[in-house]
Amino acid sequence: MTARIGVVTFPGSLDDQDTRRAIRLAGAEPVALWHKDKDLKQVDAVVLPGGFSYGDYLRAGAISRFSPVMGSVIEQARAGLPVLGICNGFQILTEAHLLPGAMLGNDHLHFICRDQRLRVENAGTAWTGDYREGQEIHIPLKNMDGRYVADRYTLDKLEAEGRVVFRYLDVNPNGSLRDIAGITNEAGNVVGLMPHPEHAVEPLIGTGRTDGLPFFTSILKKLVGA
């Protein structure tokens, strides 16, 4: 069985091709999905890539949430389809209420681009099975609206249920509450994070490490039962 992983391209997506390359390097088949299409082409999982979809007008991800493809993504994610949102994709997932909370502008009001150290807090999701809980990794980060916020009840619930998947180490680059860099839904099939694992899959690019590749090998093993 060859796992087929769809990557949605919105107007303003920047990292869709890099994401498809990462999927291919992991051994799965990348499938290009267009924002105007409702058909997900029978893919086994979906990635919402980074970028500035629809120019991030209104709010980051606010318009993309209503694109035709997202109707299908939301419906199938609630039925168990694995979905990964990277950066702008994370913003879209919160706007679509597939993940709780919201993404606001960085607290320092500047775009940030840096190699970021993270701690893996949850290795039990569909996208993190090839990591170890407590593992420290380096993943590139680039965002303008990367500050994760939620009310105290939601934050406490995420912590209590083990749904914080990644946490920033050394420095909080955008003011995210409780240093949260990524979260998951209750079922563990939907994950969103601000750093870009697709930029850390080959030693010659990004951080010079391959710490992002396990995202894509994890879902591949989940889908084929390896």
- Closest listed residue to residue 33, CA positions, set 115, 101, 89: 89
pLDDT, residue 60, reads 77
Supply the DSSP string of 15-64, one letter for each residue: SHHHHHHHHHHHTPEEEEEETT----TT-SEEEE--B-GGGG-SSTTTTG
On the question of pLDDT at 63 being above 90, the answer is: no
pLDDT tens readout for residues 168-186: 999 999 999 999 999 999 9
Residues taking part in catalysis: 87, 196, 198
pLDDT tens readout for residues 51-60: 998 887 778 7
Residue 88 tokens, joined: 């702008």
CA atoms within 13 A on the CB side of 174: 28
Residue of 149 and 66 predicted with greater confidence: 149
**What is the band of 91 on the pLDDT scale with cuts at 50, 70, 90?**
very high
pLDDT tens readout for residues 108-155: 999 999 999 999 999 999 999 999 999 999 999 999 899 999 999 999
On the question of pLDDT at 97 being above 90, the answer is: yes
Q: Once rounded to an integer, what is the mean pLDDT over residues 104-110?
A: 92
Backbone φ and ψ of 136, nearest 5°: -105, 130
Give percent of the chain with pLDDT exceeding 90.
87
**What is the band of 226 on the pLDDT scale with cuts at 50, 70, 90?**
low
Q: Once rounded to an integer, what is the mean pLDDT over residues 201-209?
A: 85
The rounded mean pLDDT for the chain is 95
pTM of the shown model: 0.95
Are 45 and 5 a contacting pair, CB within 8 Å? yes
On the question of pLDDT at 33 being above 60, the answer is: yes
On the question of pLDDT at 160 being above 80, the answer is: yes
On the question of pLDDT at 164 being above 80, the answer is: yes
